[in-house]
Structure 1
Amino acid sequence: MKNKLFICLLFLLSFQTYSQIIFEKGYFVDNNDKKTTCLIKNVDWSNNPTEIQYKLDEQDQPINISIAQIKAFGIDNHSKYERFTVDIDKSTQVISNMTYEKNPEFKKETSLLKVLLEGKASLFEYISGNTKRYFYKTDSLSINQLVYKSYKTSEVQIAQNNQYKQQLWMTLKCDNITTNDVEKLSYKKNSLIKFFKKYNDCNNSKYTVFETTEKRDLFNLNIRPGITTSAISISNSSMSTPDYDRDFDNKIGFRIGLEAEFILPINKNKWALIFEPTYVGGYKAEKSRLDSRTNEELKGSIEYNSIELPFGIRYYMFLKNNSSLFINGQVVMEHAVNSEAYVEYSTQRNTTLELKPTTSFTFGLGYKFKKKYSAEFRANFGKNVLDSNREWNSNYKSFALTFGYSIF
């Protein structure tokens, strides 16, 4: 089971290599200040990029260029990056790794910084893993990091160096900016953008804020009814004959779930975490067989209904007609309700088995239209529903066709 889970998760995480590549209109500026209009692969970088892919025409093969070859690049109406060699402090926010040093510990680094706001005073962002830093420059001031650093004052206490407030107060003076504006300023993107807007407005300076114009719904709640087809086989490892084994036939059932989808704000909203409490029911089957010794008919029956709690990850592949394909993998914890299996050993002996399912894994492939309607084919790779019975084993496999409607 662990091997199946690993293989399926590996397939899911590597699938984006083969998914649709979206190139958008943009440009780059090389080291000779030559500007080239082109199509750039927009992956909505979570970290500052060290290279980009571009092509001059839709039919061309992509070309990679590194940070050493470009001074800047941009994607129309979306984002802009500029290359700078800066002094940057990467002090950790992890308490156990903090030092007692209050002052920043600068190291020189060349990076493509993301332009958040461009004007008389411009604001830039640097992200690498858990490290997030902001830089600024003006018409008369070269680029500098806005300093914010956490440090220890004792083994159990920390303090913050908020030097960025003093930097902005000293260098971005304007009649409409008060000490209160600076004091309440947090070291966060939205707060800093708001401050830089105010400064540029105060100086009657035109400015551009580089933000995505698309609406990002980071949470969806979906009703998910569907139909299932399932089959169960059970066997007893302690018996010397197979007279007690049963292969119950495929049966059609139903499912109804409520899915919470949390869109991750990275890679153009292609990744999501999903949690879908679901009731699955309707499996009921009988299977008789002849005793190999007495030729008597031995009856067997099973009824299985469950509450599933699947948790997993989804990857979207956006299409051009306001629709998308998606794949997802989920770990499923499950609880059986109103379920049991009945098996006859002989005409005088029988047993009723408690059904207790193990954790399993499902894989799904689906289609979504207008972010509202969806259909998904889902497969469960098999689980043991007799986990509480040591002598008995089982294999439950199911496939489902699920339909979805987004409430919001």
Structure 2
Amino acid sequence: MKKLFILFIFLLVCNLQSYSQIIFENGYFINENNQKINCLIENQDWKNNPTGFNYKLDGNQNILAADIKTIKEFGVNGQSKFVRALVKIDRSTTKIETMSREKNPEFNDEKLFLKVLIEGNATLYLYDDGNLRSFFYKNNDSEIKQLVYKMYLVGNYSIAKNNYFREQLFIDFKCETISQKEYENLAYEKKALEKFFIKYNKCNDPNFVSNETKKKKDLFNLTIRPRLNSTSFSTNNSMSDTFDIKFDSNTNVSLGVETEFIFSFNKNKWSIIVEPTYQYYKTEKTKESSVYLGGEVIGKVDYKSIELPIGLRHYFFLNDGFKIFANASFVFDFSSQSKIKFTRNDGSEANSLDIKSGTGFGIGAGCKLKDKYSLEFRYLTGRNLLSNYVTWKSSFATASLILGYSFF
């Protein structure tokens, strides 16, 4: 059964990409001739600002490519909008090893696609590129400028901050509903700046409506996950092959509760999973032995623990209600009052070992329906339950069929 599970997971993981659907959504772009062309854009929910995108024209299945050289603006309707701009950008690092000692920004001219966060008389833009996150702004028809925030070194590796962006906003966006303290305490963060720009635009226009994404993303799942396990176990002693026993495969049930934190970029395709799981394994096996009177040694395993897989999951969306996924985990294990005993044929004890489990790895693949119901095949690689003994080794491996129901 274990081999069947592993084969299934391998085949499913290898074919996930071929079954996944590239999502093209209604959008538009504006070319160098200022023509607005409606199209279908491959929505990658970009974490970093793109330099180009793929699109399809209505009624045409051919996938075309566009880049910053020929496109002035593009957007996915109701979700995101990017504008091309030639801006002065400071790319000073925040890593102390390479941090600048210069307080003032060190600008370079670059042509970038900037993401529009808030659009109005005061417009806020975002540029993300790896570890660099910079905000830009425009006041009515003025040029687009970077909001200056820079960390720099002073003296013997003391870090100072240039918060000139507050002065920029105070000069360009004065409003009677915004207090002096709000300018002085404003943080260089997306939510704080969005809130400020919305407030300023409403101050100038009571009918102002923010262009923020209306769709609320589900970024947290809590799922109860009962499972059927097929478990294999073996022991080995380097001093005596009497205790080299391969136990028969054992089928049992266990229960886990999975907490999933979904990343807000790339269309919610990536998440971190944490799943404490209670498992109980009990079995025994008789082995012929010439060492003991009676010719047999009996191995008995009584093992209960809390497994704690922590891993990364990737989703592939097939349609609005159905998706498939693959995940990989690093598995910690916390055993409780668990032992492996070896007895002679006459009932006397030959050896008694306390179980102290090592770590392991897990891979899995499955599907989810309507963000509620899930089915997963998972394999946990063999881990050593006798890690506190020098001459002993063991391997405990599990293949599982897991059902899931998400409450949140």
TM-score by length of 1: 0.87
C-alpha distance in structure 1 between counterparts of 2:52 and 2:18, whole Å:
17
Matches within 5 A, 1:303-382: 303-343=302-342, 350-382=350-382
Worse overlay, 77-86 or 284-293: 284-293
How far, CA to CA, are the matches of 2:25 and 2:50 in structure 1?
16
- CA displacement at 1:232 relative to structure 2: 0.9
Seen in structure 2, the aligned counterparts of structure 1 residues 290 and 116 have a Cα distance that, compared at 3 Å, is same
| C-alpha deviation, 1:156, in angstroms | 4.8
Structure 2 residue 222 is matched with structure 1 residue 190: no
For the residues of structure 2 that align with 1:42 and 1:71, how far apart are their CA atoms? 18
- Rounded to whole Å, the distance in 1 between the matches of 2:357 and 2:90 is 52
**Paired residue type of 1:362:** G
Structure 1 residue 344, shift from structure 2 partner: 5.2
Q: How many Å separate the matches in 2 of 1:311 and 1:228?
A: 19
Q: Taking structure 1 as reference, are residues 67 and 299 closer, same or farther at Cα in structure 2, changes over 3 Å only?
A: same
Given that residues 200 and 206 in structure 1 are in contact (C-alpha distance below 8 angstroms), is that contact kept between their aligned partners in structure 2?
no
Cα deviation digits, residues 1-33 of structure 1 (max 9, x gap):
xxxxxxx9xx98996687332111111222222
Q: Distance in 1 between matches of 2:14 and 2:330?
A: 15
Structure 1 residues 197 and 298: alpha-carbon distance in aligned structure 2, compared to 1, 3 A threshold:
closer
- Of residues 200-209 and 13-22 in structure 1, the stretch that sits farther from structure 2 once superposed is 13-22
Partner Cα separation in structure 2 for residue 12 and residue 157 of structure 1: 49
Are residues 1:402 and 2:398 paired? Answer: no
Tell me the matched-pair count: 398
Alpha-carbon offset, residue 76 of structure 1: 0.6
User: C-alpha deviations, 1:306-354, integer Å up to 9, x for none?
Assistant: 2212111111223324232222111111133233223357878822233
1:213 partner letter: K
Contact map agreement 2:20 2:318 (CA 8 A) in 1: no
Contact residue 232 and residue 247 of structure 1 kept, 8 A:
yes
Could you tell me which residue of structure 1 aligns to residue 174 of structure 2? Answer: 173
Larger mean CA deviation between 115-124 and 17-26 belongs to 17-26
The match for 2:72 is 71
| Equivalent residue letter for 2:323 | S
State the structure with bigger RCO (CA 8 A, min sep 6), 1 or 2.
2
2:366 is aligned with what amino acid? G
Kindly provide the CA deviation profile for residues 144-167 of structure 1, in whole angstroms up to 9, marking residues without a partner as x. Answer: 111112223333533322222222
Over 3 Å counting, the alpha-carbon distance change for 1:233 and 1:334 in structure 2 is: same
Cα gap change, 1:233/1:172 in structure 2, threshold over 3 Å: closer, same or farther? same
Letter in 2 for 1:364: G
Go from structure 1 to structure 2 and tell me whether the alpha carbon gap of 1:243 and 1:189 turns closer, same or farther (over 3 Å shift): closer
Matched, 1:149 2:150: yes
Q: What's the % identity of the aligned pairs? A: 42
Cα pair 1:255 1:281 within 8 Å, conserved: yes
Report deviation, 1:280.
Answer: 0.7
Distance 1:160 1:389, change over 3 A: closer
- Contact kept, 8 Å, 1:83 with 1:111, in 2: the verdict is yes
- In structure 2, relative to structure 1, the CA distance for the partners of 1:57 and 1:394 (3 Å cut) is farther
Q: In structure 2, list runs of 5 or more residues that go unmatched.
A: 1-8
Deviation of the 1:294 alpha carbon: 8.6
Give the whole-Å Cα distance in 2 for the aligned partners of 1:365 and 1:199.
48
CA RMSD, Structure 1 to Structure 2 (Å) = 3.0
CA gap 1:15/1:127 in 2 versus in 1, 3 angstroms: farther
User: How far does residue 290 in structure 1 lie from its aligned partner after superposition?
Assistant: 5.5
The 8 Å contact of residues 247 and 287 in structure 1, kept in 2 or not, is answered as no
Match of 2:139 in 1: 138
The residue number in structure 2 matching 1:39 is 40
AA matched with 1:354: D
Query: 1:276-299: CA deviations, max 9, x gaps?
Result: 222111332323336499983333
Residue in 1 aligned with 2:281?
282
Q: Which residue of 1 aligns with 2:213?
A: 212
Q: Indicate the SS of the match to 1:64.
A: strand
**Whole-Å separation in 2 of the counterparts to 1:165 and 1:362:** 49
- CA-to-aligned-CA distance 1:234-259 (integer Å, 9 cap, x gap): 233333xx554222111122222222
Measure, in 2, the Cα distance between the counterparts of 1:136 and 1:233. Answer: 65
Which residue does 1:98 correspond to in 2?
A: 99
Output one character per residue of 1:205-228: Cα deviation in whole Å (capped at 9) or x when no partner: 876644332222333333222221
SS in 1 for 2:69: helix
Question: Does the alignment pair 1:262 with 2:261?
Answer: yes
Is it true that 1:120 corresponds to 2:115 in the alignment? no
Q: How many Å separate the matches in 2 of 1:104 and 1:120? A: 26
Letter in structure 2 aligned against 1:367: C
